[in-house]
Amino acid sequence: MANLAKAKVGSDRNRTFLLILIPVLILFVAFNTFPLLTGVFYSFTDSKGYGAFNMVGLQNYIDLFGDARVGNSYLFTFKVAVVSTLITNVISLVLAMGLNSKIKFKSAFRALYFVPQILGALVVGYVFSYFFTYIVPALTGTGSILASTEWAWVAIVVVCCWQSIAQTTIIYITGLQSVPEDVYEAGNLDGATGWNLFRYITFPLIMPSVTTNMVLVMKNMLMVFDQIVAMTSGGPAQSTESISYLIYNNGLSGGQFGFQCANAVIFFILIAVISVAQTKFLNSREEQL
């Protein structure tokens, strides 16, 4: 009898869990998995986004590799992502150590350095666009770097870093706070100071934060979009077209729906592979320590 009652309660419980799970799964499939699969399907067509279309097999993928504009967008996006990730992490780590030391006005400093994180990337982009168009040229006496095909990417890096440093710093501070004080004291006793203390004691111990930040920033930067819209619209001469921007621009209004779907499929695979590989690689380094 008791077993029977228990079994009944158990099956009620299971039914409730299924009643929760199924609608949520349906919602997720309908607005994530289904459009993803539709995207993959369209990548094998010559669809312009409207009207009839034909299946073209792998033609879009073949064309993709010969397309200079697509190639440039990948080069640009990776250049910005790699440079921004490195700069963000170096500055954030230094800043975090400063903010974690025995300073005056500690909480006020932390609150102010965090402000860029809460602001919208688009509006920040507009403000920096003005800064690079009017203020910087007036100071240096040169033209605006936003008008230079060679240097406009630097402006994008600056604005990306300005915003992403905020969050990265806070994560490093959390990492630094988790290092117990006596570890440093032991290091001091062994004669480790300054750079050595950082290199052999602090850095290995905050490796989890390094992993988090590297993956987080890199993934965000690879998807850079708002800053491009606000500052360059992909120009000058398509020199600052990020992958997301190109897909948005040519896929939705440039009549390349099918072709840009193929581009998006490649982009998706790249993001997934990079994120997984980066996590694996950095995690393996953590375990060694």
Partner 1 sequence: MAKDAFGAKVKEKVNWPVTILLLIGLITIIFPLYMAVVIAFKDPSEMTNDIAGILSLPSSWSLDNFIEAIQVTDFFNSFLNSLIITVVAVVISVLVHSIAAYAIGRNMDSKKLFKWSYYFIVAGMYVPFAILMMPLVKQTAILHLDNMVGVMILYVVFYMPMNMMLYTGYLRNIPIALEEAARVDGASTWTTYWKVIFPLMKPMHATVAVLTGLAVWNDVMTPLVIMGGQGVNTLPLAQMSFQTAFSTNYNLAFASYLLAMLPMIIFYVFAQKQIINGVTNGAVK
Exposed / middle / buried, residue 277 (Cβ in 10 Å: 0-12, 13-18, 19+): exposed
Residues 31-50 that bind partner 1 (CB under 8 A): 31-32, 34-36, 38-39, 42, 49
Q: Which of 12, 75, 193, 285 lies at the binding interface for partner 1 (CB under 8 A)?
A: 12
Residues 122-161 that bind partner 1 (CB under 8 A): 122-124, 126-128, 130-131, 134-135, 138-139
Q: DSSP state, 201?
A: I
Q: Which of 61, 109, 184, 198 lies at the binding interface for partner 1 (CB under 8 A)?
A: 109
Q: Minimal distance in Å, beta carbon 63 to partner 1?
A: 17
φ, ψ (nearest 5 deg) of residue 287? -65, -30
Residue located via tokens 């010559």: 46
22, 26, 32, 37 alpha-carbon torsion, rounded to 10°: 110
Of 155, 168, 273, the residue nearest 214 (C-alpha) = 168
Q: Minimal distance in Å, beta carbon 69 to partner 1?
A: 16
Kindly state whether residue 226 participates in binding partner 1, applying the rule CB under 8 A: yes
Of 171, 129, 125, the residue nearest 147 (C-alpha) = 129
| End-to-end Cα separation, the chain, in angstroms | 56
Residues 163-202 that bind partner 1 (CB under 8 A): 167, 170-171, 174, 181
Contact range with partner 1 by CB under 8 A, out of 62-70, 121-129, 148-156, 280-288: 121-129
Cβ proximity to partner 1: between 29 and 150 the closer is 29
Kindly state whether residue 70 participates in binding partner 1, applying the rule CB under 8 A: no
Cβ proximity to partner 1: between 150 and 282 the closer is 282
